[in-house]
Amino acid sequence: MPLIKDGKFTADRFIFIPDGQAFPEDGGVMVTLDRFQSECETLLAHHQPVAVRLAANENPEVLKDDLAKIAAIALEFPVYKDGRSFSWARMLRDRFGYKGEIRAVGHFLYDQLAFMVRVGFDAFDVRQDFRIEEFERAMHEMTYVYQPSVDGRKTVMNIRRGE
């Protein structure tokens, strides 16, 4: 699937390897949380860069001591209505200071992109016919924000207070 990172179409540096499937010779791999936890040493020794894909009900807190070793974390949207990953992304950035890639995978809408960027997503697995202009447009639909978030944008309150 096409990948958008930092506002541009980008090649994916990871291949998702489902549980039970052997790893390729080389190249970065993306694995489930279960697999990361059970095969961590092998992954880090031989298959860097490593990415972990979390299901919507998997709290990223369990990865907090390994974050420096993980190049990217994919957070799943099983259906677009399931908003848990908004909180997981925020947690990774805010609470744990995670600096790697946070990727949105699964089913989500154009209309959620601006919110996702605000809470810390910087990469998006988009549908086949997605045009980059749509991403640009999504980023500019709303000029101002009321709430502070991970993106550090000035809020309306900040502006009003001349901060």
Q: Which residues bind other proteins (CB under 8 A)?
A: 59, 80-84, 86-88, 90, 94-95, 109, 111-112, 114-116, 118-119, 141-149, 156-157, 159-161
* Largest separation between any pair of C-alpha atoms in the chain: 56
Report the nearest approach of other proteins to the CB of residue 50 (Å).
25
Report the nearest approach of other proteins to the CB of residue 46 (Å).
34
Report the nearest approach of other proteins to the CB of residue 85 (Å).
9
Asked if 54 and 60 count as a contact pair (C-beta separation under 8 A), the reply is yes
Nearer to other proteins, 50 or 116 (CB): 116
Nearer to other proteins, 39 or 134 (CB): 134
Nearer to other proteins, 25 or 163 (CB): 163
Spatial distance between the Cα atoms of 52 and 70, rounded to a whole number of angstroms:
7
Report the nearest approach of other proteins to the CB of residue 163 (Å).
10
**Which regions of 7-60 does DSSP assign to beta strands (E)?**
8-10, 14-16, 28-32, 50-54
Residue 116: closest CA among 107, 71, 49: 107
Nearer to other proteins, 10 or 132 (CB): 132
Nearer to other proteins, 46 or 95 (CB): 95
DSSP summary character for residue 154: P
Query: Pairing state of beta strands 8-10 and 3-5?
Result: antiparallel
Report the nearest approach of other proteins to the CB of residue 141 (Å).
5
Q: Which residue has the tokens 């790893």?
A: 23
Q: Which residue has the tokens 């959620």?
A: 112
